[in-house]
Structure 1
Amino acid sequence: MTGLVFKRLWIVSKLEKAARMVSFQPGTNILTGENDVGKSTLIKSLYHSIGADAPQMNNTRWKRAKAFYCSEISLNGATYFIVRDGKHFGVFDAQKDMLSKHSGISTEGGIADFICDQLDFNIELEKSADGKLGRAGPAFYFLPFYVDQDAGWTKSWDSFSGLQQFTSFRKNMIEYHLGIRPQSYYDAKKKEMEFVEAKSSLQGERNVLSTALATFQKRSSQIQVSLDPEAFKEELDQLVDAYNLQRARQQDALSKVNDLPPAGPSLMTRVCRFDFGSRR
C-alpha cells in the first residue's frame, strides 16, 4: 500500500455542471464535518476512481448527478492522472499525455491491467459462476486498508462491491495479505488450472475419437461383400471375349512370323531396296 498515494481528486457532475476538487497532504489526512456533508462519499470516490467500487456509489441520488472522476496519484514514485466515466478509464502521465485507455475493471483490457500490474498484484481466483480463473481487481488489493461504513462494519472484508464473484475470496485474500500464500503460490495455481483445462480438452477429443472408432468398427463388421459371379456375368463374359480376341491375334501374329524364310544377304538387299524405294 505504501506504493500508492492520493494527491488530488476531482468530482464533476454532468447534470449540475459543477465540480469539486480536493487536495490531500503527504502523511495522514483527517476529514471532519457534520453528517451528510459527503465525507464518506469522498472516501468512496477515491477508491471508485481507480476501479475499486465501494457500496452505495450507485444509489439513486448519486446516479442522478452523473458524476465522473479524475484522481491524481503517486504510484511507485511516478505521478499519474486516472479519469473514470462509468466503466471507461483513461490513464495519463504527469504531463497529462494519455498512456492507455481501459473498459471495465477485471475484464480483459480493464483498468486492473494498469493498477494491479503497478502494484505487482497479479492474483487470479476461481469464479463463482463457472470455476474458471479470473483476475482479482484493485478492490481485492485494498481490502485490508479500507472499512466501509455501509458494509465493512457489519461484515469483515466486505467493504467493496463485486467481491462475491470469486469463491472463498476472504480466505484467499487473508492468506495473501498475511504472506501465508505469496504471489508465487497463485502463479503455480494458475498453471495447475491451465494444465487441468488442457487435460480436460484432450480427454474430450479422445472421447470423441473413441466413439467414432467404435461406430466405424461396429458398422464395418456388419458390411457383407457380395462375390456372386452371377451378379457380374455380363462383365465377365465381355472380359473373356476380349481375352479370346487378343489371344487369337497373338496366335495369328506368331504364325506369320514362323512362316517367314530365313534371313540372308539377298533378302536383306531386297528389303533395303524396297524400303529405299518406298521412301521415294
Structure 2
Amino acid sequence: MKRLLIKKLIVISDVEKKSREVYFSKGLNVVIGENKTGKSSLIKSIFYAFGCEVFFEDIWKELVQKYIIHFDYGDTSYCIIREKKFIKFFNLHDVLSPEILSETEHFHDYSEALMKEFEINMDCLTSNGVEITLTPPLLFRFQYIDQDLGWSKIGESFTNIKYIKNWKDSIKYVVGYQGEEFYKEKQNLLIVRNIIQEYNVKLKNFNELLKAIQMKSKLNDIYDEDSIISIDELKVLFLELNELERKKIKIAGDTSQFNNDLYEKNLQLKTIKSYIKELDKDHEFALNQEDDIVCPTCGTLHRNTMFDRLEIVKDIQSANEMVKQIRYEIKAIESELLQLRDVKIEISQRYAALKNQVDTSKEAASIANTYRNEGMQAFILTGKIERDQLINLIGKEERTKIQIEKNIKDLNSPKRKKQIVSAFKEIYEKVLSDLNVPLKTLKLKNFVQELTKTGSENPRIIYAYHVSLYLYNLNRQESPFNFLVIDTPNQQGQDGKNLKNIDEVLGYLLDHRGQVIIGTERETGYESQASNVIYLLDVRKTLTEKDYNEHVKLFKTLEEL
C-alpha cells in the first residue's frame, strides 16, 4: 500500500459563475475562517469529490455543482471530477493524455476502480446480500471529524455507509487486524477453491471419457457403399468425437452454473424491489409526521428530523442503484447462456454429422477394430496417466487450501487483536492525557472508542481517538490512512485551558509522512510550523470570479476526454 496525498481541490458554481481553487501540502494544513466563510463546505467537498455523501448547507448545494480533486497515491498522480452522480476518474501518468480509469454514474463501478488503484481487496456485503468492493465512505470514515455529526459520533459522518451489512468491520481493516494481508489470503483461498473445482470437473470428464471409450465394442452394420473412409481419416473422426463429448460435458456444467447465478440474481432483485417499496412507504409516512413519531407497529418513539428523512431517501437511492447493477448483471448472464446455447447447437450438429460418417462407412467395422487394436489402448493409457496427474494436482491444492485457512485463522486470532489494541492504546493514552481527559474513559469495543460521556469531554475524546488512530497508522505502514481531516475543534464548548490543549496536540500532526487538514475559526499557534495556511476572510465569499472560466474549461476538457 502507499500514502495518499491531497494536492488540489476545485469547486465550481455555474449559478454564480464563480469558483475556488485550494492547494494542500504534506504535513499540517490549517484552514482559518470565521463562521459562514465556507470553511466547512470546502472541507466537506474533499470527501464529496471522492464519492462520499455529506451534509452540505442548502445554499452550497444550490450554488456548487462541479468538483475536481487532484491527489497522489504513492508516486502516481490522479484526478477525479464529479457532478451529481457522474464521477470520472483519471490516472495522470501522462498529463497530456490522461488514462480514464472509470466514467460512470454507478457508484460501485467507480468504487471498484478506485480500490483497484489503492490495491485494496476488502470485500463487503450489502444488506440485501450483494457482494461489492470497499467504498470510499467506508475507507475514509475514520479520517474525518465533520463539524455537524463528527463531534457526537465516531466514524458516521458520511450518509452512504449503513446500507452495507458489515460497515462497522471497516475499522478492522483500518487498524490492520483484518488488513490487506487478511483479504489477500481470502482471495487466495477463493482462487485455490476454484482451481480444485476446475480440476475436479476435468477429472470427472476424464473418467466419463475413459468409460465411454472402454464401452465401445462394435459399430452398426449399416454401410453406404459410396462412402469409404480411410483408417487414418476414421482415427481423426474418433478423436474429434471424443473432444466434442468433452465440450458437451463442459457446456452442461457451465450452463448449470449460469442458471444458478441467474436464479440468485433474480432472487436478489425481487428482495431489493420489495425493500424499496417498504422504504417508499416509510418515507411517505415520515413526511406527514412531526419531528418525533411513534411506530404504528411496535409503539417505539423515533426521531423524524430532516436528516432522518434524508437517510431514508439515501437508502432508496442506494437500493435503486443496486437494482440497476443487478439488472445489468442479469443481462450479462442471459447473454452468456444464449452464447452457450448457440455453441451447444453447433457442437451437437457437428457431432451428429461425424457420427453419421463413422456409422455409414463401408469399412467402419474393420477400421474400428484396427483403431481399437492400434490406438485405443494407448489412448486409454494416456488418459489414465493424465487422470493420475490431476489427482496429484488436486491433492497439492488441497494442502495449499489447508495452509491458507490456517493463515487466515492466525491473522484473525485473539492474540493478534490484543497486540494491536495494546500498540494503539500506548498512543491513545498519551493524547488523552495531553487533552486532560481521564484515562478511565478509554473504552474500546472492536477497536472503536465507546462514547458514554457528555459535555465538553466528549469532543475531546473523539479528537483524541482520531488523532491517535492517525498516528498509529502513520507509524505502522504507508497507507491511505496517513491522512486526517478535522473540522472546527475549537467550536465544541471548550474553555480556555482545553482550547490550548487542543491546539498543542497539533504538534503531533506536523510530520510530513502524512497529511492533516484542520479547519478552525482562530489561529492555533502552529501556523508558522504548518506546511500550508489558508485564510478565508469574507463571509459567504468563498467563491470568486477570478479563475472561473479556466476552471470550467478544465472540467469540460476532462469531461469530454
Tell me the secondary structure at the aligned position of residue 115 of structure 2.
Answer: helix
Q: Which residue of 2 aligns with 1:241?
A: none
> Match of 1:5?
5
Amino acid at match of 2:44: K
TM alignment of 1:219-234, pairs within 5 A: none
Query: Of residues 82, 85, 92 in structure 2, which corresponds to 1:84?
Result: 82
Deviation sequence 1:101-123 (CA, Å, 0-9, x none)? 42146423x2x233211222232
Q: Does 1:127 align with 2:126?
A: yes
Shift in CA distance, 69/154, structure 1 to aligned 2, threshold 3 Å: same
CA distances 1:228-279 after superposition (whole Å, capped 9, x unpaired): xxxxxxxxxxxxxxxxxxxxxxxxxxxxxxxxxxxxxxxxxxxxxxxxxxxx
Q: Per the alignment, in what secondary structure is the counterpart of residue 47 of structure 1?
A: helix
Q: CA deviation at 1:96?
A: 4.8
Query: What is the Cα deviation at residue 184 of structure 1?
Result: 4.7
Superposition TM-score, scaled by structure 2 size? 0.32
TM-aligned CA distance change 1:104 to 1:152, over 3 Å? farther
Partners of 1:96 and 1:27 lie apart in 2 by 29
Does residue 201 (structure 1) correspond to residue 202 (structure 2)? The answer is no
C-alpha displacement of 1:82: 1.8
Alignment CA distance shift 1:125-1:140 (3 Å): same
Identical positions, percent: 26
Query: What's the secondary structure of 1:157's corresponding residue?
Result: coil
User: Structure 1 CA distance, aligned partners of 2:158 and 2:112?
Assistant: 19
Letter in 2 for 1:159: S
Root-mean-square deviation (Å)? 3.0
Name 1:183's counterpart in structure 2: 180
Q: Which residues of structure 2 form unaligned runs of 5+?
A: 195-256, 265-561
Q: How far did 1:26 drift?
A: 2.8
Q: Which amino acid aligns with 1:12?
A: I
Q: 1:105 to 1:4 in 2, by over 3 A?
A: farther
Distance (whole Å) between structure 2 residues aligned to residue 180 and residue 45 of structure 1: 30
Asked if 2 retains the 8 angstrom alpha-carbon contact of 1:106 and 1:135, the reply is: no
Q: What amino acid maps onto 2:98 in structure 1?
A: M
Post-superposition offset of 1:62: 2.1
Which amino acid is the alignment partner of residue 32 of structure 1? I
In structure 2, the residue matched to 1:159 is: 157
Are residue 95 (structure 1) and residue 154 (structure 2) matched?
Answer: no
Report if aligned partners of 1:49, 1:70 keep a CA contact under 8 Å in 2.
Answer: yes
What's the TM-score once normalised by structure 1's chain length? 0.61
Matches within 5 A, 1:254-269: none
8 Å CA contact 1:91, 1:98 repeated in 2: no
Q: Is the 8 A contact 1:127 1:133 kept in 2?
A: yes
Secondary structure, aligned partner of 1:35: coil
Partners of 1:191 and 1:10 in 2: CA distance: 42
What is the CA-CA distance between 1:169 and the residue it aligns to?
Answer: 1.2
Q: Distance in 1 between matches of 2:155 and 2:26?
A: 27
Q: Could you say which residue in structure 2 is the equivalent of 1:220? A: none
CA deviation after TM superposition for structure 1 residue 137, in Å: 1.0
> What is the match of residue 236 of structure 1?
none
Q: Tell me the amino acid that sits aligned with residue 81 of structure 2.
A: V
Q: Secondary structure at the match of 2:146?
A: coil
Amino acid at match of 1:163: I
Distance 1:72 1:162, change over 3 A: same
Q: Which of 1 and 2 has greater Rg?
A: 1
Residue of structure 2 equivalent to 1:40: 40
